[in-house]
Structure 1
Amino acid sequence: MKGRETLSNRFEDGVVALLPRLRRFAIGLSRDWADGDDLCQITIERALTRRESYEPGTRLDSWMYRIMRNLWIDEQRARGRRSQTFVSEEAGVAIGALGAQDAAVQLGDVDRAMASLPDDQREAVLLVMVEGYTYREAAEIVGCPIGTLNSRLVRGREALLVKLGEAA
């Protein structure tokens, strides 16, 4: 009984430690703070309710990122079906607080450039350039060969440079 409690505590501590990274990835995938927070919450809930499927000794972060990515794909499919019936809302861009407007505008430019990337390129950029995963780890999370991930990353990086060059 005590061994199970220790494993459960380790699992929960690991999930809590991953929260900032998971939230950042969720916001990057969804292109929206509120949707990102919702995605992060759903991911945590799914991980906690299905913790028995996690294999101790394997990478908890990769397992959590896969859960999040799969949930996001499911959400995108559902949105696609809903968009055939409903008109989507326009999202506003928030500008930072007074005194930090230049930085906020630049960050907004980066956010808009990231949001304009195709999903596969945005995932690759987020995982490798923002989260710091190796190509192999990112390819595992996404479920594609390393060469494919590398191609997506190169195209995404080039598109960002073009878009940010236009913003300057």
Structure 2
Amino acid sequence: MKQQISTILPALRRFALSLCGNVADADDLLQTTVERLLTRSVPDNAELIAWAFKVCRNAWIDEHRARKVRENAVHNEQLQESTSADDVQRIHNQLELNQVDAAIEQLPNEQREAIALVAIQGLSYREAAEILEVPTGTIMSRLARARAKLAELLQHTQIADSASNQGGAPYVH
């Protein structure tokens, strides 16, 4: 089993990176996933790679929920302490990143997982469907809805930011 796990580590790491968004957290998630794979048995009818992706996804969901609370507290504290021009630019950049993160977080988990597996991980629709245990058409629908929703959320954010910077409401056709 250990040898089998070592063959899927690169794919698992890419998946973890697509979920976490940074190398350090992805490595922590990968470690948690491998630990769980080695200490728990794989169901008899499951393929190891599909099972490993599920374990990774579930570990990420657990950590994501806990981290969200911690990050919000730290971010609010940083905003209160920053005053220089460099700090203002850093905060502006961080706010933009937060807007993208917030848009992604507004997606249902199913859509976020589909994007991570297909668009980031590079799996086929069929492979993603097997991992998430849904029909291939469902993966295609989730991706289409996720992409449309992200575009809408980010465009709405840009319009709102533009209006607040100009002191007025956005012009809507």
Q: Does 1:129 align with 2:119?
A: yes
Letter in 1 for 2:32: I
Amino acid at match of 1:71: A
- Residues 57 and 141 from structure 1, CA distance in 2 versus in 1: closer, same or farther, beyond 3 angstroms? closer
TM-score of the pair, normalised by structure 2: 0.59
Give the one of 138, 142, 147 matched to 2:132: 142
Q: Which structure shows the higher helix fraction?
A: 2
* Among candidates 52, 63, 68, match of residue 75 of structure 1: 63
Offset at residue 142 of structure 1 (A): 2.8
**Which residue identity lines up with residue 65 of structure 1 in the other structure?**
F
**1:132 to partner: Cα distance:** 4.0
Q: Deviations over 1:84-114 (max 9, x none)?
A: 6x32498xxxxxxxxxxxxxxxxxxxxx9x8
* Structure 1: distance between partners of 2:50 and 2:75: 32
Equivalence for 1:4? none
Instruction: Please report how far the alpha carbon of residue 64 of structure 1 lies from its aligned counterpart in structure 2 after TM superposition.
Output: 0.2
| Separation in structure 2 between the aligned mates of residue 67 and residue 126 of structure 1, nearest angstrom | 15
- C-alpha distance in structure 2 between counterparts of 1:88 and 1:141, whole Å: 34
Amino acid at match of 2:42: Y
Shift of 1:75: 1.1
- State the match for 2:27 in structure 1: 37
Give 1 or 2 for the bigger CA radius of gyration: 2
| Residue-pair matches, total | 131
SS in structure 2 opposite 1:87? Answer: helix
Matched-pair identity in %: 45
In structure 2, what is the equivalent of residue 46 of structure 1?
A: 36
Residue pair 2:54, 2:132 contacting (<8 A) in 1 also: yes
1:63 aligns with 2:41: no
Question: Superposition pairs for residues 92-111 of structure 1, below 5 Å?
Answer: none
Contact kept in structure 1, 2:18 and 2:120, CA below 8 Å: no
Match of 2:91 in 1: none
2:74 matches 1:87: yes
| Alignment match, 1:154 | 144
RMSD (Å) for aligned C-alpha atoms: 3.4
**SS state of the match for residue 15, structure 2?**
helix
